[in-house]
Structure 1
Amino acid sequence: MTNPESFIQEVTEEVRRDRLFSWMRRYGWIAALVILILVGGAAWREWSLVQRQAEAQALGDRILDALDIQDAAARSQALAGIEAEGEAGALVALLAASEAPDAAARIAATERLEAVASDSALPPYMADLAALKLVLLRGSEISPEARIAALEPLAGPGRPFRPLVLEQIAYAEIEAGRTEAALDRLRGLLQDAEASADLRRRASQLIVALGGSQDAG
């Protein structure tokens, strides 16, 4: 019984091999194509990653080169000439706004900040910072009431720059003649756990300068 069983097993194996070879001859190109796609996809992803890293490094080098320029006007012009999108573009816009030396540069910086502040695709902290910088850049060009109205949405609980925004609102309230309201806001900053030591010190000094008491009421 052993020999027939062995013969049957050998025949079965041979049939299986024949079927496998037949399948490979007929459909083997599909497997080769799948392997080629997988290998090509991995190579493309690796190349794309290298490209993105190189572009990010080049952008960083351009920003650092611009910031190293000693002349303020030339530095502002260099930053304004850097083209970038997304978070990198927002960063360039914020840096350029800090360097705007004249009216023309401020107008250009204002337009870029407005775009950043209204871009819902950016992280909220970037949009809030752009909105805050926009108010600071405009400064006395807009009324205290307009500054307060622009800043109040940034002063809500959980907003990333809330203490700094509250400080700017207090300055605008002083300019508007609402000294008591400003004093109340500054006293609140003294007790605000999110306020930095420097901010609390500035608030304390301003309270004294306004002739107020640091104690509530």
Structure 2
Amino acid sequence: MSNPDSFIDEVTEEVRRDRLFGYMRRYGWIAIVIVVVIVAGAAWNEWSKAREAAQAQAFGDAILAALEAEEAEGRVEALDAIAAPGPGGAAVLGLFMAAEAGRAEDDATAVARLQTVADNSEIPLIYRQIAQYKALSRGAGVMDPEQRRAGLEALAVPGQPLRLLAEEQLALIEIEQGDTDAAIERLRRVIDDSEATAGLRRRASRLIVALGGSLTQAG
């Protein structure tokens, strides 16, 4: 004789299978769509990465080609014709163009290029600060001293990555304006700062000596 409980279990299991297959026939398309979306998303991600890599390589190749021109003016013109792939690329391109304009002794153009980078809010902050610092450093002949001072003081506040370099430039402005005592005192503070690099300390020390000052505070 067959076991009634076993028979009931088999019938129950069969009913479950029928229900499962019914659900699959009714809702199986949803699973297929999900799989298609996942596969398509992965393919799109890989394609986007490959495209970005290709754009970055083409951008770099274009810059290298532009820098092969013999004259600085020609390099600036060639760089100006390059389309930058995004804000970061625009910052790099602007810095290159400013450097070449500087080599051509065209400080006005160099400062203008740097200021364009510094004023572009879409560019990462560190690039903008570097551009601002370079513009203020190079702008002695094309910018008002007080304008340069104000800009450098903004970069010299605690916590800013270019703080000590800005302090060095502020000392140079004080020298330009004949305030050598203030410049020497500022340079001493730069030397004593724990974040100052060896090269910066060396430059500050030499400048203090050239100004006739001592490396230590009299007292």
Q: Per the alignment, in what secondary structure is the counterpart of residue 184 of structure 1?
A: helix
Q: Distance in 2 between matches of 1:183 and 1:126?
A: 30
Name the CA distance, whole Å, in 2 between partners of 1:136 and 1:111.
13
2:90 match = 89
| 1: CA distance, partners of 2:124 / 2:195 | 20
Partner of 1:178: 179
Displacement after TM superposition at 1:184 (Å): 0.9
C-alpha deviation, 1:88, in angstroms: 2.0
Q: Say whether residues 1:135 and 2:136 are aligned partners.
A: yes
The amino acid across from 1:42 in the alignment is A
In 2 relative to 1, CA 62–106 (structure 1 residues): closer, same or farther, beyond 3 Å? farther
The TM-score normalised by the length of structure 2 is 0.88
User: For residues 166 and 8 of structure 1, what CA distance do their matches in structure 2 show?
Assistant: 89
Distance 1:106 1:141, change over 3 A: closer
CA displacement 1:130-184 (0-9 Å, x = unmatched): 1111113322222322211121100111211122111111111111111111111
Quote the residue 1:66 is aligned against.
66
Deviations 1:86-129 (A, max 9, x none): 222111111211111265x843x544433432344544322211
Paired amino acid for 1:181: A
Mapping for residues 14-53 of structure 1, pairs under 5 Å: 14-53=14-53
Partner of 2:78 in structure 1?
78
Aligned-partner SS, 2:61: helix
Percent identity for Structure 1 against Structure 2? 50
Counterpart Cα distance in 1 of 2:188 and 2:172:
13
Structure 1 counterpart of 2:207, one-letter code: L
SS of structure 1 residue aligned to 2:158: coil
Trace 1:121-200 onto structure 2 (pairs within 5 A): 121-200=122-201
Distance 2:189 2:105 in 1: 36
Gaps of 5+ in 2: none
CA distance in structure 2 between the aligned counterparts of 1:155 and 1:67, rounded to whole angstroms: 33
Using the size of structure 1 for normalisation, the TM-score is: 0.88
Alpha-carbon distance between aligned partners in 2 of 1:79 and 1:106, rounded to the nearest angstrom: 17
Secondary structure of the residue aligned to 2:217 is coil
Q: Please tell me the residue identity of whatever aligns with 1:15.
A: V
> Residue type of the partner of 1:207?
I
**In structure 1, how many angstroms separate the alpha carbons of the residues matched to 2:145 and 2:214?**
24
Provide the aligned C-alpha RMSD in A: 2.1
Structure 1: give runs of 5+ residues left out of the alignment: none
Q: Secondary structure at the match of 2:69?
A: coil
Counterpart of 2:207 in structure 1 is 206
Q: What is the aligned length?
A: 215
- Of 70-79 and 180-189, the range deviating more from structure 2: 70-79
Determine the structure 1 residue equivalent to 2:7. Answer: 7
Give the letter aligned to residue 187 of structure 1.
R
